[in-house]
């Protein structure tokens, strides 16, 4: 059974108009009471009327800009008033103020396992706003706590859905695809907070790191991957340079090399181009074949 209560407008009156009316009624009731006492008349009717008018003064309430007042009549939802300023309504109504301003919070650092099972630390910043004051008040016990708990639950779900680092078998990773991760996180939080009358304006990861117990090992793995990638790039460039050198020598007819000498030349060039240190030149004073 759906017990959701949605916001609807309450019937209230402008406060300044009611101030003027009640001032007139209060003055008239006071004058009636004074006249009754002076003429030795029964003052009870005038006292009752004056007490009732004084009771009507308790119907005033103030709505701040970007706030809503949720009105109830003995536990029954009457409506919500969003018009800012001084308002008047039935004095028997209870009023609960709900802010409609944009709010944000940063979650605590959560320790979870990513898609590959590696323990990581992650935190997020969530920017949110109440769009339905009735749902925020009546559908959940405390909408502020609800936002915090459900946001952290959505953050955990997002962290476990992707790996920390990008690999060939994965197209999206936590560290390299921040926009996709933030969009996914925002959708997850919004799905959970819809019943509380809350709109998620922005959600983004504010902290992401490996857990301390594996941080050093993962750093070494990242360094090894970087070294391998750099070496691969160097070798590819060296092979291209050697191939170009052999083609240009043959094209210009500078020297004729047999297969053995070509192999020796390729070996020497690769050592020079791929070595970590600068090569030491050696001057060959003999011929190409006996130097």
Which domain CATH number covers 128? 3.30.479.30
**In a shared domain, residues 255 and 168:** no
DSSP letter at 140? Answer: S
**Residue 108 and residue 188 in one domain:** yes
Does residue 149 belong to any structural domain of this protein? yes
Angstrom distance (rounded) from CA 187 to CA 149 = 16
- Check residue 34 and give its pLDDT: 86
Q: Can you give the residue range of the structural domain that contains 117?
A: 103-210
In this predicted model, what pLDDT tens digit does every residue of 108-160 receive, in sequence order? 999 999 888 888 999 999 999 999 999 999 999 999 999 999 999 999 999 99
Mean pLDDT for the chain overall: 84
Which tokens is 224 given? Answer: 């090894």
- State the DSSP H helix or E strand holding residue 30, giving kind and residue range, or none if neither: helix 15-38
Alpha-carbon distance of 290 to 261, in angstroms, equals 11
Selection from 76, 32, 26, 16 nearest residue 56 by Cα: 26
157 lies in some domain: yes
Question: Which secondary structure element, helix H or strand E, spans residue 97, and what is its range?
Answer: strand 94-99
Note the pLDDT tens digit of each residue in 122-133: 999 999 999 999
In a domain, 279, yes or no: no
Residue 112 and residue 122 in contact, taking contact as beta carbons nearer than 8 Å: yes
- Is residue 5 situated within a structural domain? no
162 lies in the same domain as 191? yes
Domain count, the chain: 3
Name the pTM for this structure.
0.69
Asked whether residue 131 falls in the same domain as residue 202, the answer is yes
């Amino acid at each position: 059974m759906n017990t959701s209560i949605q916001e609807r407008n309450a019937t209230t009156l402008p406060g300044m108009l009611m101030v003027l009316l009640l001032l007139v009624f209060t003055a008239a009731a006071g004058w009636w009471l004074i006249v009754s006492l002076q003429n030795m008349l029964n003052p009870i009717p005038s006292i009752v009327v004056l007490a009732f008018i004084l009771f009507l003064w308790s119907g005033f309430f103030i709505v701040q800009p970007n706030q809503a007042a949720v009105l109830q009549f003995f536990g029954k939802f009457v409506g919500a008033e969003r018009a800012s300023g001084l308002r008047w309504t039935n004095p028997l109504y209870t009023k609960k103020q709900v802010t409609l301003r944009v709010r944000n919070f940063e979650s605590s650092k959560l320790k979870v396992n990513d898609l590959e099972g590696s323990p990581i630390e992650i935190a997020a910043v969530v920017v949110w706003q109440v769009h339905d004051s009735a749902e925020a008040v009546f559908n959940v016990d405390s909408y502020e706590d609800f936002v915090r708990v459900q946001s952290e639950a959505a953050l955990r779900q997002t962290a476990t859905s992707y790996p920390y680092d990008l690999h060939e078998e994965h197209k999206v990773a936590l560290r390299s695809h921040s926009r996709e991760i933030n969009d996914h996180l925002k959708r997850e939080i919004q799905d959970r907070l819809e019943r509380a009358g809350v709109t998620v304006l922005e959600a983004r990861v504010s902290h992401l790191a490996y857990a301390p117990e594996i941080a050093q090992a993962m750093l070494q793995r990242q360094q090894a991957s970087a070294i391998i990638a750099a070496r691969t790039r160097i070798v590819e460039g060296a092979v291209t340079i050697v191939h170009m050198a052999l083609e240009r020598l043959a094209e210009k007819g500078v020297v004729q090399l047999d297969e053995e000498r070509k192999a020796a030349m390729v070996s020497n060039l690769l050592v020079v181009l791929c070595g970590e240190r600068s090569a030491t030149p050696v001057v060959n004073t003999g011929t190409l074949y006996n130097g």
